[in-house]
Amino acid sequence: MIKLLNVSKQYTLEDEVFFALKKVSLEIGEGEFIGIVGPSGCGKSTLMHLIGLLDRPTEGQVKILGRDVFTLQDEERSKMRNQVIGFVFQQFNLLNKLTVLENVLLPTIYTRSKTDVNHQDKARALLQRFGIEKQINSYPNKISGGQQQRVAIARALINNPKIILADEPTGNLDSQSGKVILDLLGTLNKNDKITVIIVTHDKEVAGKTKRQIRLKDGEIV
Amino acid sequence: MTYFYFILKSALEDFRRNKVRTLLTSLGILIGVSSVVLLMAFGLGLKKYITDQFESLGANLLIIFPGKLIQNGQFRQGPGGLGGKRFDEKDVLKLTKIKTALYIVPAFTKTVEVSGGSHTETADIYATTNDIFAIRNLELDLGSYFTATDNDKRSKYAVLGPKIAEKLFGTKETALGRSVKIENQGFKVVGILKSKGGGGFGGPDLDSFAYIPYKTSYSFNPDKKFIAINIKVDRQDNIQSTKEQVKKIMLDRYSEDDFSVIEATEILNAVSSIFAIMNAVLVAIAAISLIVGGIGIMNIMYVSVVERTKEIGIRRAVGATRSDILYQFLIESVILSLVGGFLGLLISYLVVLLVQKFFPAYMNLESILIALGVSSLIGIVFGVFPARKASLLSPIDAIRYE
Ligand SMILES: Nc1ncnc2c1ncn2[C@@H]1O[C@H](COP(=O)(O)OP(=O)(O)OP(=O)(O)O)[C@@H](O)[C@H]1O
Ligand SMILES: [Mg+2]
């Protein structure tokens, strides 16, 4: 489902070339529950951004659902972010000028293909499932961090993605809320058969995943 | 549908948060649009005024002037204007042979002091035949016109425009039957005309004319020459052929350069084209303020793109394409510009209403459409650079931006 072949990402800082990722090759199958772990600065987020089509590799190949994604047009990559991938960020990244419900619906306005799914109903159902139906018309800056992260997960799920990418999803939460989010991601993997990839440096969090990919200085160890 | 709702909500929310900034940005367009629309309104009003004035001259009218007045649809430049030979009764007699000419009405005009009651006023006397009233649609308010017999008898009768009558005698009623002194001769006021409006902007003040029989005027027009000959043609279709016949007859006695045969509409077109050029220049100058307003929008949109870099990143992460981002910012700048355009139109409309008492300004559908079209265009033209910048941001750089 996800295949990386000799993927490198380099940054040039003041004439010095620096590899954030060095010839990384890996394969992730359908329905896997993966933890990407390693010390700070080892390239975890960089890797996730490449898999999530937010960033381009300096060299190497990234294949998702069999498609060599960085040979595609921006339209096509945007479409994959819209329909195949769902993101959950450490800082939630919700739009404060839209309500909770509108934030969950945001990806659907960029969906070109017609579906007979009623997005409104679906968004409400998701929010209900995550126990935030009361805050449906609130604005994100008026609800708790744990609630915001659940809204973000609902947003990631609205278009039935095959992959969920979560970068330190519990990083900004207390342990109680963090556990709720983690359980939620686990359920999505187990019951909804979604491939879930969690980036974390927390051993406890990593322990919940079924397979860990360990990075050090931009290389898999 | 939801697409536009989301984009609109996002834009409006942004404007709401930056009320002062939005208002100031729109103000630039507001000023530009209202100055353009107002100048257009004044131009239109002026044009309508001139047209009305010429229409009041009467339809199917040819006028013979001395000299060359109009060439190639423009007023002639330099010398040779209203000079040349003047015409006489012999010309009038020869012209009466033209079958399609219903009336041949010669005229001698002079600006003189007219006294009556206890006042003295400057007025234009128009020495002519009684047919002038028919061909220029001059309706009678009080009394009677002078007649053809009055002309032959050199009767000292005058028909006054309402304005000069009121100036001299206070009211039209008291003026009727009284005596006025023109060039040291007493004239009896036999009739008062209804108002034709006009005057101002250098146009003829028809209501201040004093009409007298031309033969009576010979006492102070010893050459017995006319300044113009008005010819009423029977039908619109015959205007050109009549014009040719008039020219042929006139060429018997005069050379080509000594006279012009002009249709009233030709003068109208020449006058209008002068005003149209003047107006276009003014509107073009006003349009500069629109460009300045557009630059204001561009400036604010650049600021907005930077401020909302993270928002752009989030939208890209959930599937917005480059074009989605481009359109979003374009729509916003068009909204900004259109808001200014609408307010500018509104203000122009109020100003037009306000000045209509003193000036014949008016707005037509065209100027409204132009105003809205131009503001949308400005929104697009000046919004496209910031919007392009937003669309070209890489998703990861955008979402990481703090
Ligand atoms: N835009 C950039 N320009 C220059 N260097 C960068 C850029 N983004 C990341 N890096 C560098 O690449 C390396 C990997 O960064 P990355 O964010 O992937 O680390 P990480 O493993 O996610 O760390 P953390 O656990 O702290 O989030 C770091 O050394 C970082 O400084
Ligand atoms: Mg990171």
How far is Cα A73 from Cα A67, in angstroms, rounded to an integer? 12
- Torsion sign, CA atoms A5, A11, A15, A17: negative
The pLDDT of residue B69: 67
Kindly state the tokens that stand for B308: 């909302």
**Whose C-alpha lies nearest to ligand 1, atom 11?**
A20
Q: Which residues does a 6 A CB cutoff place in the pocket of ligand 1?
A: A 11, 13, 20, 40-46, 201
Average pLDDT rounded to a whole number, residues A67-92: 95
Question: Which chain A residues contact residue B14 at CB under 8 A?
Answer: 97
Is B319's CB within 8 Å of A82's CB? yes
Per-residue pLDDT, B79? 47
Rounded CA separation B394/B278 (Å): 51
Q: Which phi and psi angles does B115 have, rounded to 5°?
A: -120, 150
Beta strands in B135-249 (DSSP E): 140-143, 157-160, 179-182, 185-193, 209-213, 228-233
Pocket test for ligand 1, best of A19, A22, A45, A212 (most atoms within 8 A of CB): A45
Question: Has residue A105 been placed in a domain?
Answer: yes
Cα-Cα end-to-end distance for chain B: 31
Q: Do B321 and A78 touch (CB under 8 A)?
A: yes
pLDDT at B81: 46
Specify which residues A216 forms β-bridges with.
A219
Contacts for A147 with CB less than 8 Å, ≥ 6 apart: A132, A135
pLDDT for residue B75: 65
Atom 26 in ligand 1: residue holding the nearest Cα: A40
- Predicted pLDDT of residue B198: 60
How many CB atoms are located within 10 Å of the residue A68 CB? 12
Report the number of distinct structural domains present in chain A. Answer: 1
| A&B contacts, CB < 8 Å | 77
User: Which residues touch B96 (CB under 8 Å, ≥6 apart)?
Assistant: B104
Contact A61, A7 (CB under 8 A): yes
**A2 falls within a domain:** no
The verdict on residue A6 lying in a domain is no
Tokens of B358: 């003193």
Chain A's closest residue to B15, CA to CA, is A97
SS3 B259: strand
Q: What is the residue whose two structure tokens read 């040719």? A: B244
Q: For the range B346-350, what are the long-range contacts, defined as Cβ-Cβ under 8 Å and sequence gap of 24 or more?
A: B347/B30, B347/B34, B348/B33, B348/B34, B348/B37, B348/B38, B348/B41
For residue A11, tell me if it sits in a domain: no
Interchain CB contact of A87 with B (< 8 Å): yes
Domain membership flag for residue A24: no
A135 in any annotated domain:
yes
Q: What is the pLDDT of residue B76?
A: 61
Cβ-Cβ contacts under 8 Å, A155 against chain B: 318
The H or E element that residue B101 is part of is strand B101-116
Of A49, A55, A106, the CB nearest to B318: A106
Residues of chain B with C-beta less than 8 angstroms from the C-beta of A81 = 316-319, 395
- Closest Cβ–Cβ partner in A74, A97, A159 for B10: A97
Q: Which of A15, A21, A37, A46 best tests ligand 1's pocket when mutated (most atoms within 8 Å of CB)? A: A46
What's the whole-number mean pLDDT along residues A10-32? 93
HSE, side-chain direction, 13 A CA sphere, residue B181? 8
**Residue A94 CB coordination number (10 Å):** 23
Exposure on the CB side of residue A119, measured as CA atoms within 13 A: 21
CB-nearest partner of A111 from B317, B319, B395: B319
| SS3 per-residue string spanning A16-77 | EEEEEEEEEEEEECCCCEEEEECCCCCCHHHHHHHHCCCCCCCEEEEEECCEEHHHCCHHHH
A221 pLDDT more than 80: yes
Amino acid type, B108: F
Would an 8 Å CB–CB cutoff place A105 in contact with chain B? yes
Nearest CA of chain B to the CA of A74: how many Å?
Answer: 7
B8 residue type, one letter: L
The answer to whether residue A148 neighbours chain B at the CB level (below 8 Å) is no
| pLDDT, greater one: B220 or A191 | A191
* Prediction pTM value: 0.76
Whether residues A106 and B321 touch (CB distance < 8 A) is answered with no
- The structure tokens listed for B359 are 């000036």
- Look up the domain containing A144 and give its range: 30-58+71-220
Closest CA to B36 of B360, B273, B363, B274: B363
β-strand A59-64 against A33-37: which pairing, if any? unpaired
Amino acid identity, position B14: D
Whether chain A has a CB inside 8 Å of the CB on B13: the answer is yes
DSSP string across chain A: -EEEEEEEEEEEETTEEEEEEEEEEEEE-TT-EEEEE-STTSSHHHHHHHHTTSS--SEEEEEETTEEGGGS-HHHHHHHHHHTEEEE-TT----TTS-HHHHHHGGGGG--S-----HHHHHHHHHHHTT-GGGTTS-GGGS-HHHHHHHHHHHHHTT--SEEEEESTTTTS-HHHHHHHHHHHHHHHHHS--EEEEE-S-HHHHHHSSEEEEEETTEE-
Q: Do B324 and A110 touch (CB under 8 A)?
A: yes
**CA dihedral sign, ordered A117, A118, A121, A126:** positive
- For residue B80, the model assigns a pLDDT of 45
Mean pLDDT (whole number) for A76-89: 96
Supply the pLDDT for residue B1.
67
Shortest-distance ligand to the CA of residue A202? 1
With respect to residue A201, please indicate whether it lies within any of the assigned structural domains.
Answer: yes
Asked whether B332 and B301 are in contact (CB, 8 A), the reply is: yes
Average pLDDT on A204-211 reads 91
Across the interface, whether the CB atoms of B3 and A95 are under 8 A apart is answered: no
- Tokens, residue A18: 């620096």
What one-character DSSP code corresponds to residue B237?
G
pLDDT along chain B (402 residues), means of 10: 81 86 91 90 84 73 81 58 71 91 91 87 91 88 93 93 90 90 91 76 72 91 89 88 92 87 80 84 88 92 94 96 94 93 94 86 87 92 95 94 86
Residue matched to tokens 């096509």: A76
> In this structure, what token pair is assigned to residue A57?
């590799």
A58 touches chain B (CB under 8 A): no
Arithmetic mean of pLDDT, A110-131: 90
Say yes or no: B316 contacts chain A, CB-CB below 8 A.
yes
Q: What pLDDT does B84 receive? A: 53
Nearest-10 Cα torsion for B146, B151, B155, B159? 30
- Token couple for B192: 């008062």
Tell me the CATH number at A112: 3.40.50.300
Confidence check: pLDDT of A88 > 60: yes
Distance CA(A175)–CA(A193), nearest Å, equals 26
State residue A181's pLDDT score. 92
Whose Cα sits closest to atom 3 in ligand 1?
A: A11
| B110 Cβ neighbours under 8 A, 6+ residues apart | B124, B125, B127, B220, B221
